[in-house]
Amino acid sequence: MRTVALTAVAALAFGSLAACGETSDDGDGVTITVEGWRPGDKQATIDAVKAQAAAFNKEHPDITVKPVEWQWNAQTFPAQLAGGTLPISFRVPFTDTKGLVERGQVADVDAEIRELPYFDELNPNVLAAAQGTDGKVYGLPSDVYANALHYNRDLFTKAGLDPDKPPTTWEELRAAAKQIHDRTGATGYAEMTTSNTGGWILTTLTYALGGRMETQDGDTFTATVDNPQTEQALQLLHDMRWTDESFSGNTAYDWNSINQAFAAGKVGMFISGSDVYNSLVTTSAIDPETYGLTAVPLGDSADAGVLGGGSVNVVSAKASDAEAEAAVAWADFFRVRRYTDESAAVADAKTQTAADQPVGTPTFPIFDEASYTTYQGWVKDYVNVPLEQMTGYTSRMFDLSLIPEPPAQTQAVYGALDPVVQKVLSDEDADIAALLKDADASVQQILDKG
């Protein structure tokens, strides 16, 4: 059986910030704050998280977990980290772990992670995302994804397109986007462009065409942003925006706002993580019948692949030993154990379905394909997501060539690319070659600073 070929690749601001750092560690037990739900999540989602916390507290009478509203955001995270307002247990993208480790901003939980009964079964390529350069483990990986193409089946039908035959090439995607716009008035295709997401999705397009944003030689990283594939991707976006006018309307989306627009039927297609259906349901109230999922189209290059990433459940560096141990136990219970234990899988599925939360959304396994298939069998009676509308992705997910996010200064690199995408989408006369030349120099400066 194949093991998913993930290399260490690339989440949840919250309401009462001051409350997040509150902990208690005394002779009667330990209390910790943990990442719970996203801002804007429906009450049913909040109730489901609280139910899970209650179940955990019952299983661990010496630990009390207090879920709080929180969402990782590249723009707000540094201030929360510096201000000490983060929960004790929270998730960060794969791309951020090593930097946090190097700066001593997350706890060393190597011993606690290695004691988990399934530690030796973790995909080593996934586990690498949670390791420091010292080889120690600083968190528990979860939520592994490959970027995918999300599409509105209702808009496809209204535009005279077959919703069971989504685009498989960039030419087909461009044609479908134009047809959707011309016949329905909706935006045919949209992309995120702010809060580092513009660089993230531009990198996804570059990978899909066979290009890369960085190269590595030992400890030396070289910017390769100015490459033919990125230029091709930007030209495609330019032509869809200005020639086809299928990329009309809002050109300043971030992760949350594009989800809202898509769920509201204003956008025909967009690219994001393969697991974004969960948020579309819990936060954006999408009609499941309108949803479709398929693989990102790939170019003809042998180097073409799909950007993949995930999250690492880390622990605040301010945590005591008891708090750190409790945080790892929570991450195991809430994020991972269901994939290794049938009773945990069924209990979780029952809790989620009782609260009308998604069960069965396609994600990449942190173990291997066999364990993923086994888990799907355990919860098959509780699956409530429209898997038959996701076959364009699920039929290919284990055959996709997953490419890790740029290894050095990832979020800073993405941030440097945001204005490039914004310029192309806001200025018909944008000089793509000049933009890429300048961006390449800017990214190299970022890499040189380390």
Residue 156 has pLDDT above 60, yes or no: yes
Residue 39 has pLDDT above 60, yes or no: yes
Task: For 355-388, write each residue's pLDDT tens digit.
Answer: 899 999 998 888 888 999 999 999 999 999 999 9
Q: Please tell me the predicted confidence (pLDDT) of residue 58.
A: 94
The percent of residues above 70 in pLDDT, for the chain, comes to 94
What is the pTM (predicted TM-score) of this model?
Answer: 0.85
Average confidence (pLDDT) over 344-364: 92
Q: Please tell me the predicted confidence (pLDDT) of residue 24.
A: 53
- pLDDT grade for 41, boundaries at 50, 70 and 90: confident
Q: Please tell me the predicted confidence (pLDDT) of residue 26.
A: 52
Residue ranges of domains in the chain, CATH in brackets: 17-145+309-389 (3.40.190.10), 147-307+401-449 (3.40.190.10)
Find the range with the poorest average confidence among 2-16, 165-179, 238-252, 260-274. Answer: 2-16
Q: Please tell me the predicted confidence (pLDDT) of residue 4.
A: 37
- pLDDT grade for 5, boundaries at 50, 70 and 90: very low
Q: Decide which of 25 and 321 is more confident.
A: 321
Find the range with the poorest average confidence among 7-16, 145-154, 209-218, 334-343. Answer: 7-16
Q: Please tell me the predicted confidence (pLDDT) of residue 72.
A: 86
Average confidence (pLDDT) over 27-53: 89
Q: Please tell me the predicted confidence (pLDDT) of residue 283.
A: 92
Smallest Cα–Cα separation from 157: which of 26, 292, 256?
292
Residue 332 has pLDDT above 70, yes or no: yes
Residue 9 has pLDDT above 90, yes or no: no
Find the range with the poorest average confidence among 91-105, 309-323, 334-348. Answer: 91-105
Average confidence (pLDDT) over 279-301: 96
Give the whole-angstrom CA distance, residue 265 versus residue 269. 10
Residue 210 has pLDDT above 50, yes or no: yes
Smallest Cα–Cα separation from 279: which of 297, 250, 257, 303?
257
Residue 42 has pLDDT above 60, yes or no: yes
Q: Please tell me the predicted confidence (pLDDT) of residue 25.
A: 54
Residue 266 has pLDDT above 60, yes or no: yes
Average confidence (pLDDT) over 251-279: 96
* Mean pLDDT score across all residues of the chain: 91
Q: Please tell me the predicted confidence (pLDDT) of residue 407.
A: 87
Residue 1 has pLDDT above 70, yes or no: no
Helix axes 228-238, 432-449, angle to 10 degrees: 130
Task: For 399-450, write each residue's pLDDT tens digit.
Answer: 988 898 998 999 999 999 999 999 999 999 999 999 999 999 999 999 999 7
Task: For 393-402, write each residue's pLDDT tens digit.
Answer: 999 998 988 8
3-state secondary structure the chain: CCCCCCCCCCCCCCCCHHHHCCCEEECCEEEEEEEEECCCCCHHHHHHHHHHHHHHHHHCCCEEEEEEECCCCCCCHHHHHHHCCCCCEEEEEHHHHHHHHHCCCECCCHHHHHCCCCHHHCCHHHHHHHECCCCCECCEEEEEEEEEEEEEHHHHHHCCCCCCCCCCCHHHHHHHHHHHHHHHCCECCECECCCCHHHHHHHHHHHHHCCCCEEEECCEEEECCCCHHHHHHHHHHHHHHHHCCCCCCCCCECHHHHHHHHHCCCECEEEEECCCHHHHHHCCCCCHHHEEEEECCCCCCCCCCEEEEEEEEEEECCCCHHHHHHHHHHHHHHHHHHHCCHHHHHHHHHHHHHCCCCCCCCCECCCCHHHHHHHHHHCHHHCCCCHHHCHHHHCCHHHCCEECCCCCCHHHHHHHHHHHHHHHHHCCCCCHHHHHHHHHHHHHHHHHHC
- pLDDT grade for 184, boundaries at 50, 70 and 90: very high
